[in-house]
C-alpha cells in the first residue's frame, strides 16, 4: 500500500494507466481521496450485513435500501473530520464499509453485467449522526443524518477488481476506535447484497454516472449499539481496514462555536 515518501509510477490519465504508457516517477507527498470532491456522486446502502440487521433488530430487506450523500461529504485518508457542535451533540457514529467506484455510465445492467462497470474497490466510513435517523426526527430518511461535510472519507487507494479478486472471498473488515476493535467481520460471509447486485438494483431506470462512489453498508459493531453505547468523541482516531485494500485513517475533531439552530 502507498505511504508518504514512497516512489511510484505516475500516469497523466486513466487511459495511459490502462495502456501502461507515458509513466513518470513521482514521490507521494500526501494521500488524497481516490476521487475529487467536485461533482462526485455518492450512493450509500443500508442493512447490507446480516450481523448489523440483527444488532439493529430489523428485518433483512428484499432489495438494497439506498440513499445519497452530497459531494461535499467526500473526505481524504488521514484528513481530520470536522464535527460541529450541532453534530457532536446528536450521536456521531462510525460505519466501516467496502466501497466500489463505477468505471463508466450505466443503466439497467444485470447483476451478471455489473462487474464490467466497476472500476475498483476502496474503503469508506459512512459517518452518521444517529439522532437524525430516528423516525420522529427525519421520517425514517437517512440523508440528513449522513450528509454533513466530510462525512464520507474514502481511500487510501483504489484497487482494480482483478487485483482485489485475490482477497475478496476471504477479505475481512475491521474498524478500530483508538486502537480498540469495534467491527470485525468476513465481508462475503456477512454481506447480503454483493456489489454487483447493488449496482444492478441502483441502475434500474436510473443512469449511474461514471466514477460514482458506492458505499456498500456496514457490519455489526457501530457505536450506537455498543453496550454501553459508545459514540465518537473529540480526538478519536478511526481506522477501517479491509484485507487487500489497506487502512483508512481519520481523526474526529469537534469544533467550537454555537449551534445555529435547535
DSSP 8-class letter at 106? B
What is the distance between the alpha carbons of residues 165 and 168, in angstroms, rounded to a whole number?
Answer: 5
- Torsion, Cα 214 33 220 174, to 10 degrees, reads 130
What is the phi/psi pair of residue 212, to 5°?
-75, 135
pTM strictly above 0.85: yes
Residue 26, strand partner residues? 8
Average pLDDT score over residue span 134-145: 86
260 band by pLDDT with thresholds 50, 70 and 90: low
Q: What is the pLDDT of residues 2-55, one digit of tens each?
A: 778 999 999 888 788 778 899 999 999 988 888 887 889 999 999 999 999 999
Which pLDDT belongs to residue 34? 87
Across the range 112-124, mean pLDDT stands at 98
Predicted local confidence at residue 39, as pLDDT: 86
pLDDT band at 258 (very low <50, low <70, confident <90, very high): low
Q: Give buried/exposed letters for 175-203 (b at 16+ CB in 10 A, else e).
A: bbbeeeebbbbebeebbbbbbbbbbbbbb
CA pair distance 206, 202, nearest whole angstrom = 7
State residue 246's pLDDT score: 96
d(CA 241, CA 1): 12
Instruction: Go through the domains of the chain in sequence order and give each one's CATH number.
Output: 1-30 (no CATH), 34-254 (3.90.850.10)
DSSP string for residues in 33-49: -SS-STT--EEEE-S-B
Residue 262: pLDDT band with limits 50, 70, 90: low
Outline where DSSP puts E strands in the chain.
Answer: 7-10, 24-27, 42-45, 66-69, 74-75, 80-83, 92-93, 96-102, 118-125, 128-129, 152-159, 172-177, 180-186, 213-215, 237-242, 246-254
> Regarding beta strands 74-75 and 152-159, do their DSSP bridges make them parallel or antiparallel, or are they unpaired?
parallel
pLDDT tens across 43-98, in order? Answer: 999 999 999 999 999 999 999 999 999 999 999 999 999 999 999 999 999 999 99
- Nearest Cα neighbor of 102 from 218, 246, 203 is 203
Rounded-to-integer distance, Cα 80 and Cα 251, Å: 5
Q: Which residue has the cell 473530520?
A: 81
**How do residues 205-243 score in pLDDT, each as one tens digit?**
999 999 999 999 999 999 999 999 999 999 999 999 999
Amino acid at each position: 500500500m502507498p505511504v508518504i515518501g514512497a516512489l511510484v509510477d505516475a500516469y497523466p490519465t486513466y487511459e495511459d494507466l490502462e495502456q501502461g504508457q507515458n509513466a513518470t516517477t513521482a514521490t507521494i507527498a500526501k494521500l488524497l481521496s481516490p476521487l475529487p470532491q467536485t461533482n462526485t456522486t455518492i450512493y450509500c446502502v443500508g442493512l447490507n450485513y446480516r450481523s448489523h440487521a440483527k444488532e439493529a433488530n430489523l428485518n433483512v430487506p428484499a432489495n438494497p435500501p439506498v440513499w445519497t450523500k452530497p459531494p461535499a461529504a467526500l473526505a481524504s485518508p488521514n484528513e481530520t473530520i470536522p464535527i460541529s457542535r450541532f453534530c457532536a451533540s446528536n450521536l456521531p457514529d462510525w460505519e466501516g464499509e467496502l466501497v466500489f467506484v463505477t468505471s463508466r455510465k450505466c443503466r439497467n445492467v444485470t447483476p451478471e453485467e455489473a462487474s464490467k462497470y466497476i472500476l475498483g474497490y476502496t474503503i469508506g466510513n459512512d459517518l452518521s449522526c444517529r439522532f437524525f435517523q430516528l423516525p420522529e426526527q427525519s421520517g425514517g430518511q437517512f440523508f440528513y443524518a449522513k450528509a454533513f461535510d466530510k462525512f464520507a472519507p474514502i481511500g487510501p487507494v483504489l484497487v482494480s477488481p482483478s487485483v482485489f479478486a485475490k482477497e475478496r472471498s476471504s477479505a475481512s473488515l475491521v474498524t478500530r476506535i483508538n486502537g480498540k476493535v469495534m467491527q470485525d467481520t468476513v465481508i462475503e460471509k456477512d454481506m447480503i447484497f454483493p456489489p454487483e447486485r447493488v449496482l444492478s438494483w441502483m441502475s434500474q431506470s436510473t443512469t449511474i454516472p461514471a466514477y460514482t462512489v458506492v458505499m456498500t453498508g456496514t457490519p455489526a459493531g457501530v457505536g450506537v449499539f455498543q453496550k454501553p453505547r459508545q459514540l465518537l468523541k473529540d480526538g478519536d482516531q478511526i481506522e477501517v481496514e479491509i484485507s487487500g485494500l489497506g487502512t483508512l485513517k481519520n481523526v474526529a475533531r469537534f469544533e467550537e462555536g454555537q449551534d445555529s439552530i435547535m
